[in-house]
Structure 1
Amino acid sequence: MSKVKPIIPPNFIENLFKQTRFTKKEIVGLCKLFKKLVAIYGAESTSSVAAMSSVVLITIPTQGFDRLMFREFLQNELGITTEEILTDRIFCFFDQRNDGVIHEDEWITGLSVLLRGTQDERIKYTFTIYDLNNDGFITKEEIFSLLRNCLVKHPQDEDPDEGVRELVDIVLRKMDCDNDAKLSFEDFSTSVNKQSLLLEAFGQCLPSREISESFLNSISSVQ
Structure 2
Amino acid sequence: MKPSLQQSIAVARHKDKTWWHQKTHSVEDDFELSTVCHRPESMDKLQEQTKFTKKELQVLYRGFKNECPSGVVNEENFKTIYSQFFPQGDSSMYAHFLFEAFDTNKNGSVSFEDFVFGLSIILRGTINDRLNWAFNLYDLNKDGCITKEEMLDIMKSIYDMMGKYTYPTMQDDAPIEHVENFFQKMDQNKDGVVTIDEFIDSCKKDENIMQSMQLFDNVI
Asked if these proteins are the same fold (TM beyond 0.5), I'd say: yes
Q: Structure 1 residue 72 and structure 2 residue 77: aligned?
A: no
Compare 79-88 and 22-31 and name the one that shifted more.
79-88
Distance 1:178 1:201, change over 3 A: farther
AA at the equivalent of 1:20: T
The percentage of counterpart residues that share the same residue type is 27
Gaps of 5+ in 1: 40-61, 154-160, 213-223
Where does residue 100 of structure 1 map in the other structure? 108
Distance 1:92 1:22, change over 3 A: same
Q: Structure 1 residue 22 and structure 2 residue 52: aligned?
A: yes
Q: Is the 8 A contact 2:83 2:91 kept in 1?
A: no
Q: Cα offset for 1:144?
A: 3.5
Where does residue 128 of structure 2 map in the other structure? 120
AA at the equivalent of 1:26: E
Where does residue 56 of structure 1 map in the other structure? none
Superposition map of 1:77-96 within 5 A = 77=85, 84-96=92-104
Gaps of 5+ in 2: 1-27, 33-38, 160-169
Q: 2:150 aligns with which of 142, 153, 156?
A: 142
Q: Is the 8 A contact 1:113 1:121 kept in 2?
A: yes
Q: Deviations over 1:68-92 (max 9, x none)?
A: 2222333435999675443212112
**Structure 1 counterpart SS, 2:194:** strand
**Structure 2 counterpart SS, 1:207:** helix
Q: Is the 8 A contact 2:72 2:111 kept in 1?
A: yes
- Alignment RMSD: 3.5
| Aligned residue-pair number | 176
Output the CA distance in 1 between the equivalents of 2:153 and 2:211: 15
Largest Rg, 1 or 2:
1
Q: Cα offset for 1:16?
A: 0.9
Q: Is the 8 A contact 1:130 1:138 kept in 2?
A: yes
Output the CA distance in 1 between the equivalents of 2:116 and 2:47: 10
Q: Higher relative contact order at CA 8 Å, sep ≥6: structure 1 or structure 2?
A: 1
Output the CA distance in 2 between the equivalents of 1:207 and 1:79: 17
